Amino acid sequence: MTTLDLAKQLLARPSLTPDDAGCQDLLAECLRRLGFTVEQLDFGDTKNFWARRGTSAPVLCFAGHTDVVPTGDEAQWHSPPFVPTERDGRLYARGAADMKTAIACFVTACERFLAAQPDFSGSLALLITSDEEGDARDGTTKVVDILKQRGEKIDFCIVGEPTAERELGDTVKNGRRGSLSGTLTVKGRQGHIAYPHLARNPIHAAAPALAELIAEQWDSGNAYFPPTGFQISNIHGGTGATNVIPGSAEVKFNFRFSTENSADNLKRRVHTILDKHGLDYDLTWNLSGNPFLTEAGVLTEAVQAAVREVCGVEAKLSTSGGTSDGRFIKAVATELVELGFVNESIHQINENVLLADIERLSQVYERVIRRLLSAA
């Protein structure tokens, strides 16, 4: 089938995370016909598979997710979100840009390459999960653990996340910042607001420490990353009454940090500042991903050349944006980038991609395969 046909079949399945809704069964059937060995690696409610054709290095892996975010108010969609619809030169559906259509591009790129070079040297692989948009606990990270245990390495990985800013191919992500969140509970003593000497206001106590955390320069970044950023997302304290000093205050914050820093160092410095201000507090941490980076090299050059040939644009390297499953895969991948559709409509009502971009992205992927595996 064509890339568009396969994309429409995937998009018609309401695979709200972590429900795969049959997407991976369809993909596995396509890949087995192409000679791939497909391992289903499910955990809990999450479906995953690792597909591979070939046994030698180098290994080129395409990675992605079949799950999508909720549709929002379906009445605001111009066409039903799980009825893929062509309109005004675009394909509309939930998951069109993020990222079922890119997965279809993976498959058809492999199909054309294998038809032309069935006896290629190296290996082609796909790592697909249904748990990227959710907790990401039973998806790619679990598959990577299995690959580690077996000693399987990936030489080159392309994650099909939507990376383009204005036109297909203009941006390639060669890294991502880490994300470290904290929940700080500052303890005080509740009391009547007219008798502050009988209480201890935790908001007042926390304010100088928070001001110092906000003003702190955590690092200077580097050639690929901006300086580490600290942001407070929520502050809560009190009973709702205007005449009660709260007994505690809760502050939620997040670091987006570069390869110039580490989660352990950030934790240590936060505790040092809080302790300096004499706060009575509890602090819990959640590290959702460490930063990763692929410096300019074989993979970035192959991707940029393919984009130049197919799209006629110069792809810039970027580490902007949030986290992706690349943070897990980099543990077994020597070089990893993200390359996909324009990200303007992702997670929005009327998510869409340009119809003309669908075959072009598949051609970009095919040319990358040829560059990395044909001469192996």
Q: Active-site residue among 132, 335, 338, 366?
A: 132
Best CA proximity match to 23, nearest among 91, 92, 78, 102: 102
- Based on the residue annotation, tell me whether 359 is a catalytic residue of this protein: no
Q: Which residues contact 293 (CB under 8 A, 6 or more apart)?
A: 174, 175, 224, 225, 259, 319
- Based on the residue annotation, tell me whether 280 is a catalytic residue of this protein: no
- The DSSP line for 279-336 is --EEEEEEEEE--EE--SSHHHHHHHHHHHHHH-S-PEEE--SS--THHHHTTTEEEE
**What CA–CA distance (Å, rounded) separates 239 from 122?**
63
**What CA–CA distance (Å, rounded) separates 47 from 106?**
19
Q: Active-site residue among 20, 67, 325, 351?
A: 67
133 marked among binding-site residues: yes
Best CA proximity match to 285, nearest among 257, 311, 304, 312: 257
347 marked among binding-site residues: yes
65 marked among binding-site residues: yes
Edge-to-edge strand ranges of the sheet holding 154-159: 37-40, 48-53, 123-129, 59-65, 154-159, 333-338, 171-173, 316-318
Phi-psi region at 196: left, alpha or beta (left = phi > 0; alpha = psi -120 to 50): alpha
**What CA–CA distance (Å, rounded) separates 278 from 298?**
52
Half-sphere exposure of 107 (CA within 13 A, CB side): 28
216 marked among binding-site residues: no
Whole-number Cα distances in Å, 79 to 85, 121, 211, 330, 349? 7, 45, 48, 38, 10
351 marked among binding-site residues: no
**What CA–CA distance (Å, rounded) separates 10 from 84?**
9
Please report, in range form, the residues annotated as the binding site. Answer: 65, 98, 133, 161, 347
Please report, in range form, the residues annotated as the binding site for Zn(2+). Answer: 65, 98, 133, 161, 347
Active-site residue list: 67, 132
